[in-house]
Structure 1
Amino acid sequence: MSADKIGCGFCSKKRRVLNAFELKIGQHISEPGRNKLKYKERKHVLKANYFHHAIIADIKHRTDYEATLVLIHYADVRGFKNGSIQKKEEKRNLKHDEIYTIEYNYSKYTPKEIVRRAKSQIKKGDGKDTVTKDEDEDEDADNHENQTGTIESVFGNYNLFKSNCEHFATWCVLGTQNCFQFGEKRTILLISFIVFALFAIIILSILRLSNSRILEMLTNIPGFAVVGDIIYHPYLIYEFLELKRLHNNKSVCSYCSEEKLYILLTKFILFLLSCSLSLQYMIITVNDPLVPAWPVTILITVIFLIRSAMPFIQSVVKDFESPLTVKSIKVKQLSDVKRGEVIVFRQYGFKHFTIATKVTKSGKISLVHYNKSCLFTRVIEEVEIKLSDKTVWRLDPRKMTVFLPEEIISRVQSRKGEKKWHWRSNRSDHVCYWAVKEQLHMKYYKPKNNEETEIATKSEQKIFSSLEVETMVVHIRNETEIGDVVQFCVNNGTFKKGVGIIIEIRNSKKDPARHKRTFQLSLVMQAGKTITLSWIDIDLNTDTVKVKKFHPVHCNTMEERKNRAIAALFKSDNQTVDNKFKLVEFCVLKE
């Protein structure tokens, strides 16, 4: 490992394993925790209170949906402080076991080094906590490795708060201990506290306390707000110093560091505003105790709203988070820009993402992006800019699996004319990510038409893994196929929306030249006890189509889905279907 290598877990992504051949040695995986695990049969969803984490040390055997894995993780955990790091051979069957891989843009160590670090923390029977370094492994040292070539013991017995399975797995990959589940739980607890406070105010009103008593209680709130701000101020300083420490230790990438700094600045501004309002109120009441009631009420409400906004800042910022969390490089000269690259510049103070389609010798760059055509409408267009007029960056794609430049340009140009901009889910950065990123896992969605032997799983109960994996927005025609379950929302003169099974796809009669973006879907749909067949005209520049993606281990083949949909349609023509009949389940789920 090189000393300047960055390890960042803040921009990591969790992805469901569709096929056992996606699993690799040295991967960080997570699974639903077995304690109080529930399978909701009506929705075919597996619900867990927490996730367990492990490192794959070896893979002994596997087929498409089964695998025998050698895992290093905290095993035999009982309570909050029992359990140790062990290496165990365990069997997994994707029909029952829901496995996720944690994908890192910035991993500090190679898979081989990750396994070596994981093995170093296994407790030995002779009491030694270190493992001698193999001769063929990397000779670089890190902050936990001494001069004799051994890695010092960092983890002891299991501790929920300081030394749990996620702390261990992230340390193996990144070199630092992180537990991102705690951050999510903390936000939920804070929101719950705010909701509880609102209920408490309602209960006080129900108790019919006198107006003077309620006012007296409310007028004390600014004083408590000041005390809270005094306590909160050191916490903000601690967060800033912690961010600085992570940056100095190369434990956070530049993108995540910038994002976290913006969050801290927003929190600090809200903190100053809350302090100033509280202090101003206290000064006014000292000088004039007979202040009217209505300004007091407004001021207290504003303070309460400001204080309540704190827990929601993180979730709001998440909505603006770009999927392109890779390093940006400043463009110094025209030759630095290549066709098919993601180009970034500032627009109204915000980062704006585009795809370069042409670079001319005159210093102009042709870009495809969401352009603001009028006040409330944005359209994907191809425009030209001069390099001399703007400060421009290009994204380093080495951390991503990307299409070839010509394919990237073809994909993004196919979406020209689209008018579906959305501030949360379909901005220019989302368009660029779709055009650039090659989704290698998509090939595993196609169900295998073979019989597999049932093997024992770690679960004593015969529960099943979740059926639905994700809902994917369709941007070009070849992202749909016969047998898919689709949600559509179209407005071609008359507004229509619904869910159906595709049994046929045709070119559009209105605009056959734009066959990638305009087409017709023949859908079998259910409305109560009636099954119907409808032809839907789709124009992806204005209409929205989403494909529901299901785990292939539970699903029929696409051909079988189509045949079942037609059979359900024929059955409905002859007789009314049962109240409990569900078309999607009938077509998709294996019997």
Structure 2
Amino acid sequence: MTLRYSSGRSSSDLSKSSFSEESDINASTILNRISINSDIAAGPLTDNVFDVEDSNNDELNHDGRVIFKRNNTNMDDLTADTENNPDSDSDENYYEDIDIGGVFEEIRQTYGEDLSETLSAYSRSASKEIDIHDIEESIDHLPEGTHPEENDKSCANCCKPRRVENVSWLKEGQHIRLPGARLTFSFRRKLVPVYYHHAIVKRVNKTFENSIELVLVNFSKVKKKITINEETVTYDLENDEIDIMDYEHPRYDPKTVVQRAESMVPKETETEGNKTFGSYNVFCCNCEHFASWCVVGEGESFQAKGVLKSSAEILCKAAGTGCKIGRFIKRFLNKATTKITAGFNFGKYIPGMFLGATAIIYLIYTVAMTIAYRVKLSKGKLCKVCFKREVIALWTNFGAFCITSGISYLVVHFLLPLLTPTPVGIPLFLVLVLLSLFLQWGIGKLVKALRSPYACDKIEVKHLSQITPGSMISFKYFRIPHFAIVTEKHVESAESKIGTITCVHYGLKGLNVFGTREVIEESFELDVNDNIKNVKLVDCRQLKTFPPDDIVKRVRARIGEKTWKPFSNRSDHLCFDTIVIEGNDGDSHSARSKMIGKSSSKHKSSFYVGKKEIHLRSDLHIGHIVKYKGHVGIVVRLEDVTEGGEQNFKMDMIVHWDSWVIRKRFSVDLKNERLLIMKYNPAHCCPMDDRVQRARQIEGELSEFRTGKDFLENCILKKL
């Protein structure tokens, strides 16, 4: 919301002053000092502009207070004017008071919950009259607000690649990635890229079926030099794999992303490339740096970081392993002959010194990276969730290195010398080395598997009005971080800080921490002033979610489920699976032209995309390829059960079994069993109805296919 007035200052000067979340104190000063006439009927605020007329006007002089008039112009500005406007037509304007409730409701929705706490103070009667100079002074002290197209927080670490299954998903301003044009290999109908190329979509020109013509801004080679350029490229999903990089915290909107990308394209007069962004460098300024800079304002390349990080970890692991091998060789030589080991008296200290030096270097690296992440967090370039994730991963890996290397060093020094003469010595040593490498490699995988599917911030609950049915909350459950979906809330009034919250989550019936976990619905009393459970609201606004009523229905349908898994189906998975809408990004583009170029890719895109566990009948459709009770086949029939809800139904599958194509019938109970959907590239697949028809045509026959995989490919692949 921007204040403009005609008192010797241009509107462009005042447009620089806007409200932000940090300016509620100054905003309250202005709102408290402007008195609203209550004798005139209130009018709605939406789609109108209000001007302050000269208080000398008899029609507007109501006890000397500032009165607003409404005319039919744009709502982008709130105009305060103290002089008569000679160009205005008084017959076309009518004067009335503002609907003050509507004003503050719009401010609350636009600028967050912080202003709502002082809403009653804003709407009280003015204690003193003001003139236009007081308003000017207050406006001059307003801090410059954030532009609507720019967020004050961004993060590139929590972006995720999403495979494009339909060309309609590609839109202007997206950050996309593709397998590198040179070092990409195809192995068993799967593309294996050595690296990825990144670009910004400037415009979608044409689409037809699985083909699309895009205008990209990216690093490309022109006249034997790699610079940022615009190029028009045609892709076909049958040959090209395209991933959309979904940012949970982008700083800029799509239009601004395109503008930033265009601003880096060198002008014709620039012969040295763009000096603002920098010359191409594979480690410091590559295509991924450029694309992420356009979206979040900070150049990040996780490919380059991954190479450097992997190299450092390999060196650390090799250092520890090298010390063990060196120590073992020395022990072996000591047992062999005294002459050969005569020069090894000083050498016995080398492995320990080398291992100690490696640990110190690793510690310095860990501390430096922690400080760097902290700085990025303070500057709003990293979200809190990703900061915690990165710091935990850093120190966990360092701890794993210290523990495994320390134990191995002690074993090699004290235990192995006793076992070297025996046949057990060498095998034990090899097992020790492999176990050490496995632990250092596996600890990172374990930490990653324990992360939540999405990086959502947690908001402190200050009043119960923040929590509504369909909200996701976090709290301590047996002193362990836990998540739940709120289904009901019972409070005495909107301003109450004590109430009863009903939620659905993966809980325990009883006090046995090691008992079977089950999706249950239970209530607990929440006192905001004495928040024993440390309840916080999980901010999912950046995600594409179901409506609150649908969220409640979906999560209640899973009550009684007992398929908890520590790495794939925890309480946070339950919540996000219930809330987040996955898949299609919008309606398909119309086939505007059949005259579209061909893809330059030399390979076919991957046939198999992945698998997804489903928990509700509504997420399963006839024609899906599913894995259930050891069988993989095509769903040809679904029947709802009268009692059992969304997790109990009957299903018919056509499968390849013992050289026959047969129909299997199941009574599915998703409360106790797992069902996986196998996802394949739609560009290679025929429609659902066609694959069902093909399966039914060969049902009951002796199979001509050697494996079930051949049977499925015959049913779902397009016929050439």
What is the aligned-residue RMSD (CA, Å)?
Answer: 4.0
CA separation in 2, counterparts of 1:386 and 1:487?
42
Which has the higher Rg, Structure 1 or Structure 2?
A: 2
Separation in 2 of the partners of 1:566 and 1:91?
37
Q: Deviations over 1:38-76 (max 9, x none)?
A: 233xx4222211110000111112234222111011112
Distance 1:534 1:77, change over 3 A: farther
2:394 to 264, 271, 275: 264
Structure 1 counterpart of 2:623, one-letter code: G
User: Could you say if the C-alpha distance between residues 224 and 305 of structure 1 is closer, same or farther in structure 2, counting changes exceeding 3 Å?
Assistant: farther
Q: Give the TM-score normalised by the residue count of structure 2.
A: 0.68
The 3 A distance-change label for structure 1 pair 279 and 468 is closer
Determine if the alignment matches structure 1 residue 520 to structure 2 residue 650: yes
TM-score (norm 1): 0.82
Aligned residue identity for 1:587: C
**Aligned residue in 1 for 2:538:** 395
Residue 705 of structure 2 contacts residue 711 of structure 2 at CA under 8 Å; is this kept in 1? no
Contact 1:324/1:429 (<8 A) preserved: no
Asked if the contact 1:4–1:250 (Cα under 8 Å) also holds between the matched residues in 2, the reply is no
- The partner residue of 2:516 within 377, 380, 403 is 377
Other structure's SS at 2:699 match? helix
Residue 212 of structure 1 aligns with which residue? Answer: 335
Q: Which of 260, 263, 284 is equivalent to 1:162?
A: 284
Could you say if the C-alpha distance between residues 77 and 302 of structure 1 is closer, same or farther in structure 2, counting changes exceeding 3 Å?
A: farther
**Which residue in 2 is equivalent to 1:457?**
598
Q: Quote how far apart the aligned CAs of 1:160 are.
A: 1.1
Residue 450 of structure 2 corresponds to residue 320 of structure 1: yes
Measured in 2, the distance between the counterparts of 1:304 and 1:543 equals 36
Q: Which residue of 2 aligns with 1:483?
A: 623
Distance 1:303 1:236 in 2: 24
Retained in 1: the 8 A contact 2:519–2:562? yes
**CA 126–451 in structure 1, closer or farther in 2 if over 3 Å, else same:** closer
1 or 2 for the larger relative contact order (CA 8 Å, sep ≥6)?
Answer: 1
Gap change, CA 1:569 and 1:190, over 3 Å in 2? farther
Query: 1:222, 1:300 within 8 Å by CA — same for their partners in 2?
Result: no
- Which residue of 142, 151, 154 maps to 1:7? 154
- The aligned counterpart of 2:135 is none
Q: Deviations over 1:2-53 (max 9, x none)?
A: 586112011111001111111111110000111132233xx42222111100
Give 1:171's aligned residue. Answer: 293
Asked whether the 8 Å contact 2:236–2:599 carries over to 1, the reply is no
Cα offset, 1:198, TM superposition:
6.7
Structure 2, unmatched stretches of 5+, are 1-145, 492-497
Q: How far apart are the structure 2 equivalents of 1:226 and 1:13?
A: 38
Residue of structure 2 in register with 1:507 after alignment: 640
CA distance in 2, matches of 1:306, 1:203: 16
Encode CA deviations 1:336-381: one digit per residue, 9 max, x unaligned: 2111100111234432110111112262211100002342310000
Contact 2:181-2:601 within 8 A present in 1 as well: no
The answer for the alignment partner of 2:716 in structure 1 is: 588
Q: Any idea what the Cα deviations from partners look like across 1:306-337, whole Å, max 9, x if unmatched?
A: 78755544322211111231221111232321
Query: What are the equivalent positions in structure 2 for 1:140-539 lying under 5 Å apart?
Result: 153-156=276-279, 158-186=280-308, 189=311, 194=317, 210=333, 212=335, 220-267=350-397, 269-270=399-400, 293=417, 309-361=439-491, 363-373=499-509, 374=512, 375-388=514-527, 389-441=532-584, 455-459=596-600, 461=602, 463-489=603-629, 497-508=630-641, 512-539=642-669
1:46: which partner in 2?
191
Distance in 1 of aligned mates of 2:593 and 2:693? 23
State the SS of the aligned residue for 1:159.
Answer: coil
Alignment counterpart, residue 122 of structure 1, candidates 251, 255, 265: 265
- 1:67 is matched with 212
Contact 1:130 1:153 in 2 (8 A): no
Other structure's SS at 2:584 match = helix
CA distance in 2, matches of 1:452, 1:537: 47
* Contact residue 617 and residue 647 of structure 2 kept, 8 A: yes
CA contact (8 A) 1:187 1:311 kept: no
**420-429 vs 226-235, which deviates more?**
226-235
Native 8 Å contact 1:370 1:379 kept in 2: yes
**Conservation of the 8 A alpha-carbon contact between 2:362 and 2:398:** no
Deviation at 1:186, TM superposition (A): 4.7
One-letter identity of the residue aligned with 2:281: N
Could you list the runs of 4 or more consecutive aligned residues of structure 1 that deviate by over 6 angstroms after TM superposition?
Answer: 128-131, 190-193, 195-208, 213-219, 274-282, 295-308
Amino acid at match of 1:365: I
Q: Secondary structure of the equivalent of 1:399?
A: coil
Check the 8 A contact 1:222/1:303 in 2, yes or no.
no
Give the Cα separation in 2 of the matches to 1:320 and 1:341: 22
Question: Greater shift after overlay, 301-310 or 520-529?
Answer: 301-310
Report the secondary structure of 1:441's partner residue. Answer: coil
Secondary structure at the aligned position of 2:581 is classed as coil
Identity %: 27
Provide closer, same or farther for how the CA distance between residues 63 and 523 of structure 1 changes in structure 2, counting only shifts above 3 A: same
1:89 to 232, 238, 243: 232
Q: Which amino acid aligns with 2:617?
A: R
Question: What displacement does 1:559 show?
Answer: 1.1
CA distance in 2: counterparts of 1:177 and 1:259, whole angstroms: 20
Q: Give the 3-state SS of the residue equivalent to 2:541 in structure 1.
A: helix
Is the deviation greater in 336-345 or in 293-302? 293-302
**Which amino acid letter does the alignment assign opposite residue 168 of structure 1?**
F
Deviation at 1:460, TM superposition (A): 5.3
Cα shift at 1:237: 2.0
Aligned residues: 544
Q: Is the 8 A contact 1:53 1:166 kept in 2?
A: yes
What is the rounded CA distance, in whole Å, between the counterparts of 1:436 and 1:68 in structure 2?
A: 34
SS of the aligned residue for 1:155 comes to coil
Instruction: Please identify, of 296-305 and 267-276, the stretch whose mean Cα deviation from structure 2 is larger.
Output: 296-305
Once residues 455 and 335 of structure 1 are traced to their aligned partners in structure 2, the CA distance between those partners, rounded to angstroms, is 54
Give the whole-Å Cα distance in 1 for the aligned partners of 2:644 and 2:196.
45
